[in-house]
Amino acid sequence: MEKERQNDIRSAFEKIGIALSERQLWQFEQYYEMLIQKNEVMNLTAITEFEEVVQKHFLDSLMIRQLMEPKTGEQWLDLGTGAGFPGIPLKIVYPELRLVLLDSLNKRVRFLQEVIEGLELKEITAVHGRAEELARRAEYREQFDCCVSRAVANLASLSEYCLPFVRVGGCFVPYKSEKVQEEIRGAEKAVRILGGRIERQEEFMLPGSDIYRCLLCIRKKKQTPEKYPRKAGTPTKEPIR
What are the tens digits of pLDDT across the range 91-149? 999 999 999 999 999 999 999 999 999 999 999 999 999 999 999 999 999 999 999 99
* 80 Cβ contact partners less than 8 Å away, ≥ 6 residues apart: 102, 103, 104, 131, 149, 150, 151, 153, 161
State residue 226's pLDDT score. Answer: 95
In the DSSP assignment, the letter for residue 71 is: P
Percent of the chain residues past pLDDT 70, beyond the cut: 100
User: Can you give the pTM of this predicted structure?
Assistant: 0.96
List pLDDT tens digits, range 25-82. Answer: 999 999 999 999 999 999 999 999 999 999 999 999 999 998 999 998 899 999 999 9
In the predicted model, is pLDDT for residue 2 greater than 90?
A: no
Beta bridge partners, 102, equal 79, 127
State residue 132's pLDDT score. Answer: 95
**Strands 196-205 and 212-220, sheet pairing:** antiparallel
Residue 235 φ/ψ, nearest 5 degrees? -60, -30
State residue 178's pLDDT score. Answer: 78
In the predicted model, is pLDDT for residue 1 greater than 80?
A: no
State residue 105's pLDDT score. Answer: 95
List pLDDT tens digits, range 186-228. Answer: 999 999 999 999 999 999 998 888 889 999 999 999 999 999 9
**Mean pLDDT within 1-11:** 91
If pLDDT is split at 50, 70 and 90, which confidence band does 152 have?
confident
In the predicted model, is pLDDT for residue 180 greater than 90?
A: no
Q: What is the mean pLDDT of the chain?
A: 95
